[in-house]
């Protein structure tokens, strides 16, 4: 899995860059995702929806949009048996999967719909080895969620064949309808193109017919028909207001005055 570490609030200590790349790649080695993006945001509340089926997004020290106050501590706190050097946890929001430490603290929330993880503890402002252990515990919990999720797509590993069959049918139906919609659009585009080509072909046929008539006219000598009017040239010149009669670029030009 490719791991991308991004700074959007302040620099993440360089030791964490190495830690994230090694830890995430190892723990999520069997996940369907091929990219994990780690963000340190400007603020600690967000409504991003950047995750995708093959892209897992992690937000450090972040929670969803809520007006609730952080949970503060007056004494030292341990998370997963390791010392937490922070003084507060961000408040969780409803509707997400909670990741709770054995001490009873919600330290992270996973959004299944958008494949995103909010880490509610401030674990990366400063580097502490104990914080690496806490992060790995959080990642292990998410990996278990991934395994349960992915087992639903596996007929061999499924614990509930009826539910797996239902989910697979829903996915196949969604794929079928999506492909059907796209194919119908391609059909409409092709029909419009055929009609456009038909109109263009009609224009070209009429142009060919017109050119054929002109070719036939020139071959038959009809362009010399003006010789029939040569006898009238003297009569035209004799008119009082006519100064001259010329032939320019194949056209008869009469110069006259009012």
pLDDT at residue 182 in the model: 92
Which tokens in the block code for residue 73? Answer: 């501590």
Q: What are phi and psi of 90, to 5 degrees?
A: -70, 150
Nearest to 53 by CA among 150, 173, 182: 150
pLDDT score recorded for residue 249: 81
Question: Which residue matches tokens 């010329």?
Answer: 246
Listed as ranges, residues in the chain with pLDDT below 70 are 7-11, 151-159, 221-229
| Structural contact between residues 32 and 1, judged by C-beta atoms closer than 8 angstroms | no
DSSP 8-class letter at 75: S
Using H for helix, E for strand and C for coil, what is the string for 136-201?
Answer: HHHHHHHHHHHHHHHHCCCCCCCCCHHHHHHHHHHHHHHHHHHHHHHHHHHHHHHHHHHHHHHHHH
| DSSP three-state, residue 97 | strand
For residue 222, what pLDDT is reported? 55
* Angle, helix 129-151 to helix 14-27, in steps of 10 degrees: 30
């Amino acid at each position: 899995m490719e791991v991308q570490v991004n700074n959007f609030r302040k620099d993440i200590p360089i030791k964490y860059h190495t830690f994230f790349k090694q830890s995430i790649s190892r723990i999520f080695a069997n996940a369907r995702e091929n990219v994990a993006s780690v963000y340190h945001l400007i603020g600690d509340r967000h409504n991003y929806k950047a995750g995708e089926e093959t892209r897992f997004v992690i937000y450090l020290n972040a929670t969803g949009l809520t007006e609730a106050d952080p949970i503060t501590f007056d004494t030292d706190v341990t998370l997963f048996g390791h010392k937490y050097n922070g003084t507060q946890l961000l408040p969780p929001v409803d509707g997400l999967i909670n990741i709770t430490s054995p001490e009873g603290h919600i330290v992270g929330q996973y959004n299944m719909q958008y494949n995103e993880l909010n880490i509610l503890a401030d674990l990366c402002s400063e580097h502490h080895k104990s914080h690496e252990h806490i992060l790995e515990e959080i990642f292990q919990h998410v990996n278990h969620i991934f395994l349960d999720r992915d087992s639903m797509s596996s007929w061999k590993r499924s614990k509930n064949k009826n539910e797996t069959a239902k989910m697979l049918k829903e996915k196949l139906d969604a794929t079928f309808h999506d492909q059907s919609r796209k194919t119908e659009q391609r059909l409409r585009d092709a029909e419009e193109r055929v009609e456009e080509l038909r109109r263009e072909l009609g224009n070209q046929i009429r142009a060919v017919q017109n050119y054929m008539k002109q070719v036939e006219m020139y071959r038959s000598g009809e362009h010399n028909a003006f010789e029939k009017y040569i006898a009238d040239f003297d009569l035209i010149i004799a008119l009082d207001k006519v100064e001259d009669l010329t032939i320019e670029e194949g056209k008869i030009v009469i110069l006259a005055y009012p």
